[in-house]
Chain A
Amino acid sequence: MTILRGVFPLLLALVLPGAMMAAGDGGARVMAVPIQPNVGVAIDLTASDNPNDAGGVINLEWAMDSGGVEPDSIGVVRLDPSGEADTLAVLPAGTVFYRDTTAVNGTEYTYKIVSYLGGKVAGVSETATAVASAQWLHSGRIGMLVILSIMAALILYYIETGKKGKELYIREIGGLAAVDDAVGRATEMGKPVLYIPGIMDMDDIQTIASMVILGRVARKTAEYGTTLLVPTSRSVVMSVAQEVVKEGYLQAGRPDAYVKENIQYLTDDQFGYAAGVDGIMVREKPAAIFLLGTFYAESLILAETGRSVGAIQIAGTAMPSQIPFFVAACDYTLIGEELFAASAYLSREPKLLGSLKGQDAAKLFFIVLIVLGVIASTVGQFWPPMATVADFLRDLVTVE
């Protein structure tokens, strides 16, 4: 490859004096030159800037002329403005696409495809030129930007109204109404509360939501004087959980009751963590278990073991594949979005309730969008103009 790079401009200059000159002459189109009469050459070569990137990339596409002898391989040759040629790649015959990722933004390059036969250049395609550039807005994501902006505006607007003290309603959420009871029960029985924040790290929004709920639960256990155990599967989550629980105990006026060692890291390993938590369950026999966060296959391993020690279990996750197992094995399950509503529900803070109202408005927007899309698609089957509307709506929600 490196040898080719060095040798090739020379080779090209030898066999293609005409082409080199033509390029230098001011971009006159060069006809495809089959040097050996019968070899297949690339035709319809196009070069274009790769869209929606930070530049530096030019896409080349071509077709192979199917008449004639199949070349052994083909090469992509780039000429920079000074006319210096560079073989970017040698590709197997039959390739019809190449991406030049070494272009400099703003420089006009000329490309051609050469066909090799028996180690020699046997044919050359027409040339094509392109300039790489960077874009300021991703054209395939404008629809999403618009919708996301609307949603964000709605949510932030309702948070503001919430702050201003407008009375906001929130419906009953079974699993959350039971939090007090669960902690109370553990207190009566003199057994600990076990809080499992899922197996993902702090960058996961479900873990973040779980940490917020943990703060509320910690305050309750502090008030009731019950032990709270938090085994985690991530170091950062452990750190955050320690902070959050400490703060909860502080707010409840019981900073002395906070035991740092009760919030411990086990292992990053999914099933190693499950084994460890199962062990804690059967040995500590918690009376209440919270499983809130992101869970994968370990969900049922934990929930069934928790069930077997007789704990009251409150689970919640937005992982659609794991919800069925929590529904089957736990007393209460927060389904999907209910997990994210928990902090608002438990704290009744106006700004958080406002955020919930904003989420509802956003869902209403989507419902309207779906209904419109369905109507347009259905009517569009019989009345073409409506099909255009349906296509427009689908384009709007398409993200590249």
Chain B
Amino acid sequence: MANFFQKIGDLDRRVIFLLIALAVIIPITTDLIIPNIVGAEPSRDMFDYVDALPEGSNVIVSFDYDPSTMPELQPMAEAVVRHLFEKNHKVIGTALWPQGAALGQHAMSTLADSLGKEQYVDWVNLGYKTGGAVMIVRMGTSIKAVFPADRDNVPWEDIPMLEGINSLKDIQLVISLSAGDPGIIAWVMMAGDRYGIPIGGGCTAVSAPQLYTYLQTDQMVGLLGGLKGAADYETLVGIEEGPAVKGMSPQSIAHLVIMMFIIIGNISYFSRRKGGAR
């Protein structure tokens, strides 16, 4: 046995390649779903924060991304909006990226239809406005000044759910789904730091490490990072076979395979050292 472990350290790397390929191909072809488990992580913090908001809170969901990052961010958008609807919060959609408004519209209107939510009563899509951080600062004194009408040009006054909302101070939470700049950072610096509005968000895996620092300093209430973050939110909301959970399956298996090889490599290394066959 010891001999086996000594030898396996020099395993042909093509065996690893084969296992990685299988780890990816099998879940895709069989629709295998690995159950997702959510630990004490920023995605749970975010869920808990939304869950604990008093019913009927005003929440801005800002769709700050475009189709290129949809695989990661659209599942987040759908899970977050579903959760907000289920908790009877009022969802105000905005977008710092031009194409985000349409993606947000799609998520909100589809979910609203299936959950029986009404446009202009439970949700509204204010659409895209250029300006990024500057626009957010302006919203600090008047949201209506930035969005005199919604995406379909319905004037602010004619939208019942916006009655009583003047500035960001009337918003209980901002959730930015962000693919880059402008995005979460602009919301944290302007709405969060300047006006004290709680900020949550979701981002691509690539940009997550940079945003983790905001969690360390409590400038954000929670963060969904990449596909895992999206899968976490789907799991917490109770979507069982969501696109993100599905997408995580090959990831989980392939990660396991790699970790297993790291462990085998080390066992082999130590058994060789013991055997003096360095």
Contact = CB atoms under 8 A, between A and B. Distances in A.
A143 B109 CA distance: 50
Interface in B112-147: 131, 134, 138, 142, 144-147
A61 to B, nearest CB: 10
B148 A94 contact: yes
Contacts of A96: 138, 145-146
Contacts of B278: none
Name the residue in B145, B146, B147 with the highest tally of chain A Cβ atoms < 10 Å from its Cβ.
B145
Contacts of B142: 66
A100 interface: no
Contacts of A278: none
A305 to B, nearest CB: 11
A97 B135 CA distance: 10
Contacts of A94: 145-149
B35 interface: no
A63 B134 contact: no
B134 A97 contact: yes
5 contacts: A64-B145, A70-B148, A94-B146, A94-B148, A96-B145
B138 A66 contact: no
A93 interface: yes
A63 B142 CA distance: 10
Contacts of B238: none
Interface of B: 13, 131, 134, 138, 142, 144-149, 155
B84 to A, nearest CB: 26
B14 to A, nearest CB: 10
B91 to A, nearest CB: 21
A308 interface: yes
A254 B187 CA distance: 63
Name the residue in B148, B149, B155 with the highest tally of chain A Cβ atoms < 10 Å from its Cβ.
B148
Contacts of A93: 148
A319 B134 CA distance: 32
Nearest to B138: A96
Nearest to B129: A94
A97 B131 contact: yes
Nearest to A304: B13
Interface in A75-106: 93-94, 96-97
Contacts of B147: 94
Nearest to A40: B148
B138 A308 contact: no
Given A63-B145, A93-B148, A94-B148, 17 more contacts: A64-B145, A66-B142, A66-B144, A66-B145, A70-B148, A70-B149, A70-B155, A94-B145, A94-B146, A94-B147, A94-B149, A96-B138, A96-B145, A96-B146, A97-B131, A97-B134, A308-B13
Contacts, number: 20
A66 B142 CA distance: 10
Contacts of B149: 70, 94
Nearest to A71: B148
Nearest to A321: B206
A35 B175 CA distance: 42
Q: Which 3 A-B pairs have the closest CB atoms?
A: A94-B148, A70-B148, A93-B148
Nearest to B141: A63
Contacts of A97: 131, 134
B190 to A, nearest CB: 15
Nearest to A93: B148
A93 B144 CA distance: 11
Nearest to A307: B13
Contacts of B134: 97
Contacts of A66: 142, 144-145
Name the residue in A70, A94, A96, A97 with the highest tally of chain B Cβ atoms < 10 Å from its Cβ.
A94
A8 to B, nearest CB: 23
Nearest to B142: A66
A66 B138 CA distance: 14
Contacts of B145: 63-64, 66, 94, 96
B169 to A, nearest CB: 16
A63 B146 CA distance: 10
Interface in A297-323: 308
A96 B144 CA distance: 12
Interface string A53-75: 00000000001101000100000
A97 B132 CA distance: 13
A397 B145 CA distance: 35
Interface string A150-175: 00000000000000000000000000
A98 to B, nearest CB: 12
B149 to A, nearest CB: 8
Nearest to B156: A70
B258 to A, nearest CB: 12
Nearest to A70: B148
A97 B138 CA distance: 11
Interface string A28-72: 000000000000000000000000000000000001101000100
Contacts of A70: 148-149, 155
A317 to B, nearest CB: 19
A94 B128 CA distance: 13
A96 B143 CA distance: 12
A37 to B, nearest CB: 18
A66 B148 CA distance: 10
A66 B145 CA distance: 8
Contacts of B13: 308
Contacts of A63: 145
Interface in A332-371: none
